[in-house]
Amino acid sequence: MPNANEDNPSALNQVQSRAVSELLRVSPVADELARRFQEAGFSLALVGGSVRDALLGRLGNDLDFTTDARPEDVLKIMRPWADAVWEVGIAFGTVGGQKDARVGDVSQSFQIEVTTYRSEAYDRTSRKPEVSYGDSIEQDLVRRDFTVNAMAVSLPEKEFIDPHGGLDDLAARVLRTPSTPEASFSDDPLRMMRAARFAAQLDFEVAPDVVAAMKAMSERIEIVSSERVRDELNKLVLSAHPRKGLTLLVDTGLAERVLPELPELRLERDEHHRHKDVYDHTLIVLEQAMALEENGPDLTLRLAALLHDIGKPRTRRFETDGRVSFHHHEVVGAKMTKKRMTELKYSNELVKDVSRLVELHLRFHGYGTGEWTDSAVRRYVRDAGPLLDRLHKLTRSDCTTRNKRKATALSRAYDGLEERIAQLQEQEELDAIRPDLDGNQIMEVLGVAPGPVIGQAYKFLLELRLENGPMEYGAAVSALKEWWAAQN
C-alpha cells in the first residue's frame, strides 16, 4: 500500500482516519512530545502496536514511539518534560517514561516508550540480540516482526507510513512478516512465538509461508532465553484466544522445545476409544476455566488448567478389564509442573501455587458423590488454603463429559461441597484452622521446654481439630494429656 505521505489520501479510509484522529485526540502528549523532538532537530513517529491498536479501536494508554535520536539525546529531551523517566531498556535503544495529562475533563497517566531506529539480530550462539541503530524509519519498520506492527504515524504532521501493506493485512486479519519469514525468524527466533501470541491475542490467521518457516526453524527458539520465552507464553495464555496460539505452537513443533508436556498429551487412542483425547480435553478445560474468571485473566488458574493432566502420559496403564487408568497422575503432574515452570524461570510463589492446584485437582473426586463429612470438608479447605477459590474453578472446569446427566450430577455434587464449606466456615472459621491449644499452652499442660515434642503435640491437636471440629479447652487438655501418656 502506498504511504499517505505520498499525497495519496486513499491510504486511509474515513474510518481509519477517524481511528488515528481519535488516537491523537486522547493522546495530547504525542504532539507535545513530537514538538520537543522537532525543536531538537529530530523526528518522532508513533509506531507498531500503538498504530495497530488505534486502527483496531483498542488503544490503551501505553504509547510506543520511534525516532532517529540516539538514546542519550532522547533522555535529554524527555527528562525535563516527563513526570518520570527510566532507562531499563536503554541498552536496546529504548527510553521509558510516564506523563500525566488531561484528556477532556479526565486526568490520565500515559506510559511512553521511545526507541531509536534500530535493527537487532541473534548470531548462532548468543542468547542475547545484538542491537545496531539505523538512520531511517523505513529501515526500522522492515526489521519489525509483522506487517501489522510495521506501520507508523509521523508526528506532528500526522502522516501515515505503511511500506509493507500492514493496513491490508490488518483488514484481512492475517500475520505476515515485512521481510521473508526465514530472515525475520533468523534475526530474532522469538518472533515465532510472537506469531502464536498475536494470533491468540488478535484472533488473526498466520500466513502459510510464515507457518512453514516456523516449522522449518523451530529449533532456533532454543537460542532464546527462558525468561523471554516465558514472557511470550504468559501473554499467549492470558489472551482472549489461547487455544489458537497453543495449537500453533504444537503444530509447528515449537511447543516440543518450550513446553514439551503439551504435545505429549496427544495420546493415541486405542481401537476401542477407551479414553478421551487428553490434549483436546486440556484445551477445553482451559477455556472453561477462563469462563469462570471473575476479575480478568488469572495466570495461576490458566496455567493450572493447561498443566493439570501433564502427568497422564507417564502414568497411563491398560488394565486387564479393558479400562485405561492414570493412577496418581496428579502427583506426577505436580512434580512435572514444578520442574517445567522452574526451568522457565517462573517465580517460586507461582510455581508453588500452580503445582499445588495440579496436585489437588482430583481431590474432589476422591470423595465420590456421597455426603461430605465435616472432617473431609475441613481437610479439603486446609489443603487448598488460599487457593480454594481457584481449586473450585479448576475442578468445575475439569468436567468435559458430553454426557449431560453425568455433567449435571458432578456440578450438583460440587455445589453441595461448596455449600458444606460455606456452612462450616460460618461455624468454625475454616480459613484459619489451627489446634485448640497453642504452643505455650502445650508446654504449660505437659510441663516441658521448647523442643520437637511441641511440634508433635501441635500436629496431633491439629489432626484432632480437623477430625472433630472445635473443642472446649478442658477437652483439648484431656486429649493432649492422654496422647502424652501414650507417648511415654
pLDDT tens per residue across span 82-97: 999 999 888 889 999 9
Amino acid at 108: Q
Q: Pseudo-torsion of CA 304, 310, 311, 314, nearest 10°?
A: -170
pLDDT at 16 over 50: yes
pLDDT at 261 over 90: yes
pLDDT at 384 over 80: yes
pLDDT at 270 over 50: no
**14-28, 120-134, 142-156, 246-260: the lowest-pLDDT one:** 14-28
Local confidence band at 407 (pLDDT 50, 70, 90 cut-offs): confident
Local confidence band at 328 (pLDDT 50, 70, 90 cut-offs): confident
Task: Provide the strand spans (E) within 87-129.
Answer: 94-103, 106-116, 118-121
Three-state SS at 112: strand
Q: What share of the chain has pLDDT > 90, as a percent?
A: 50
Residue 350 has a pLDDT of 97
Number of C-beta neighbours around residue 182 at 10 A: 15
Residue 121 has a pLDDT of 60
pLDDT at 398 over 80: yes
Smallest Cα–Cα separation from 310: which of 354, 352, 249, 364?
354
Residue 43 DSSP code? -
Give the pTM: 0.80
Smallest Cα–Cα separation from 262: which of 252, 273, 247?
247
Local confidence band at 53 (pLDDT 50, 70, 90 cut-offs): confident
Smallest Cα–Cα separation from 311: which of 362, 345, 350, 347?
362
151 or 8, higher pLDDT: 151
Residue 2 has a pLDDT of 38
Greatest CA separation for the chain? 96
What would the mean pLDDT of 209-235 be, rounded to a whole number?
96
Residue 4 has a pLDDT of 42
Local confidence band at 305 (pLDDT 50, 70, 90 cut-offs): very high
Q: pLDDT tens-digit profile of 274-292?
A: 445 899 999 999 999 999 9
**Upstream peptide bond of 156 is cis (omega within 30 degrees of 0):** yes
Q: For residue 340, what is its C-alpha cell?
A: 517445567
CB 160 within 8 A of CB 5: yes
Local confidence band at 430 (pLDDT 50, 70, 90 cut-offs): low
pLDDT at 5 over 80: no
Q: pLDDT tens-digit profile of 467-479?
A: 777 777 787 778 8
